[in-house]
Structure 1
Amino acid sequence: MKPTGGSVAAFIADVTPAVRRRDAETLTTLLQEVSGREPELWGTIIGFGSCHYRYPTGNEGDMPVLAFAPRKSASTLYLDSTARHADALATLGPHTIGAGCLYIKDLEKVDLGVLRPILEDVLAWTESGGDDYAQITVTG
Structure 2
Amino acid sequence: MYELKTKETDNSVIEFIEGVDNPKKREDAYQLLDIFTETTGYDAKMWGPSIIGFGSYHYKYASGHEGDAPLVGFSPRKAKISLYFATGDAAREELLKDFGKHTTGKACVYINKVADINVDVLKELILQSVKFLQETYPDSLD
- TM-score normalized by the length of structure 1: 0.88
Distance in 2, Cα, partners of 1:16 & 1:98: 24
Counterpart AA for 2:42:
R
Shift of 1:138: 3.6
Distance in 1, Cα, partners of 2:31 & 2:125: 16
Please state if 1:32 is matched with 2:34.
no
Indicate the percent of aligned positions where both proteins have the same amino acid.
Answer: 33
String of CA shifts for 1:106-125, please: whole Å, max 9, x gaps.
Answer: 11121101111011000101
**Counterpart for residue 67 of structure 1:** 73
Aligned length: 135
**Counterpart for residue 102 of structure 1:** 109
Q: Which structure 1 segments of 5+ residues have no match?
A: none
Q: Work out whether residues 77 and 101 of structure 1, in 8 Å CA contact, stay in contact via their aligned partners in 2.
A: yes
SS of the equivalent of 1:99 reads coil
Q: Work out whether residues 17 and 26 of structure 2, in 8 Å CA contact, stay in contact via their aligned partners in 1.
A: yes
Q: Work out whether residues 72 and 86 of structure 2, in 8 Å CA contact, stay in contact via their aligned partners in 1.
A: no
Shift of 1:15: 0.9
**Counterpart for residue 56 of structure 1:** 62
Distance in 1, Cα, partners of 2:88 & 2:51: 19
Distance in 1, Cα, partners of 2:77 & 2:85: 16
Q: 1:16 to 1:138 in 2, by over 3 A?
A: farther
Shift of 1:82: 7.2
Q: Work out whether residues 82 and 98 of structure 1, in 8 Å CA contact, stay in contact via their aligned partners in 2.
A: no
Distance in 2, Cα, partners of 1:82 & 1:14: 33
Distance in 1, Cα, partners of 2:95 & 2:130: 16
SS of the equivalent of 1:6 reads coil
Shift of 1:139: 3.4
Please state if 1:125 is matched with 2:127.
no
**Counterpart for residue 139 of structure 1:** 141
